[in-house]
Amino acid sequence: MSVTDNNFSSKPKQIAQASIQVLTKVFGSLNEVSLIVISDIKLAINIAENFKTCGLKNYNIFDESLERFLTKRGNSSFSSDNLANLLKDYDMIMIGDNSQSKLIESHTVKKILKKRKHKPIFFVDCGIPGNISMNIGKINNCFLFDLNDLEQLYSSWFQNIRTYEDTSKSLYDFELKSLMDSFFKKLDLNLEQKMVFEKRVNILLKSNEKEIKVILKNFLKTF
């Protein structure tokens, strides 16, 4: 990500809203999500402020570098074990550090996931350039977005939000939703692909909901 703070200075709310959409897709309910923000970058703190009233289970902001965060908690060595122990209880982790170093690597994330018994985890890389290795996005149950990703998601998802909201109610058929979730998992679709698929399904359902649901369910049951 080769951008400056000014590119996003007026968009912390939009970036937070895109993050919330990702959280909803990954975890289902925000009231079970724990967030930690560790950053000495003002923009990251501004984004995080938008999560205060969205109903998260835990909300923790540390306006400091990751190194200082570790030191203040008695961890003088910057090791993957120390990081894993401190971050394992959080579902969403926002990291932004002026050091411009890669602070979160794949081996650290694997340790965190092991301690979490492979419960999903969502990283937001607020560093410029990034502080989190892009390779972690390839790890199962690990979701990684940078600010540019989230800004683009906001643009693509929210420009048609009214249309999506008008049609999304049709998806609240528990059997259909369960079959679709299983289908997504088997095909290993990413979040954006899921959103596109659901939107197309909703368009179909709007034309002939009852008949289309039967066809979809029979189709999905073959997987």
| Averaged pLDDT for residues 183-211 | 78
Lowest mean pLDDT, pick from 71-75, 84-88, 128-132: 71-75
What residues make up the domain containing 209? 160-220
Give the pLDDT score at 78.
Answer: 72
Averaged pLDDT, 114-131: 92
Token duo for residue 76 = 């003088």
Domain boundary among 134, 157, 180: 157
Sign of CA dihedral 153, 155, 157, 161: positive
Res 182: pLDDT: 78
If asked whether residues 131 and 165 sit together in one domain, one would say no
User: Do residue 108 and residue 180 come from a single domain?
Assistant: no
Same domain for 148 and 165: no
The per-residue pLDDT for 173 is 61
Strands 58-62 and 92-96: unpaired
CA 197 distance to own-chain centroid: 18
Global confidence as pTM:
0.68
Domain CATH for 69: 3.40.50.720
Residue 100 and residue 168 share a domain = no
Mean pLDDT of 190-215: 79
What local confidence, expressed as pLDDT, does residue 179 receive? 79
Mean pLDDT of 57-62: 94
60 and 95 in a single domain? The answer is yes
By percentage, how much of the chain surpasses pLDDT 90? Answer: 35
Lowest mean pLDDT among 41-50, 143-152, 173-182, 184-193: 173-182
Same domain, 153 and 44: yes
SS (H, E, C) 62-121: ECCCHHHHHHHCCCCCCCHHHHHHHHCCCCEEEEECCCCCCCECHHHHHHHHHHCCCCCE
pLDDT category of residue 77 using cuts at 50, 70 and 90: low
Average pLDDT over residues 123-132: 91
Give the pLDDT confidence score for residue 170 in this predicted structure: 46
Q: Whole-angstrom Cα distance, residue 26 to residue 23?
A: 5
Last residue of a domain, one of 157, 179, 200: 157
Res. 5 pLDDT band, cuts 50 70 90: very low
Q: How many domains does the chain have?
A: 2
Which residue would you say has higher pLDDT here, 17 or 166? 17
- Strand ranges (E), 29-155: 34-39, 58-62, 92-96, 121-125, 142-146
The answer on 205 and 150 residing in a single domain is: no
Same domain? 85 vs 176: no
| Token pair in block for residue 189 | 């679709």
- Are both 193 and 124 inside the same structural domain? no
pLDDT surpassing 90 at residue 109: yes
The residue among 109, 126, 157 that closes a domain is: 157
145 and 177 belong to one structural domain = no
- Are both 16 and 50 inside the same structural domain? yes
For residues 186 and 104, membership in a common domain is answered with: no
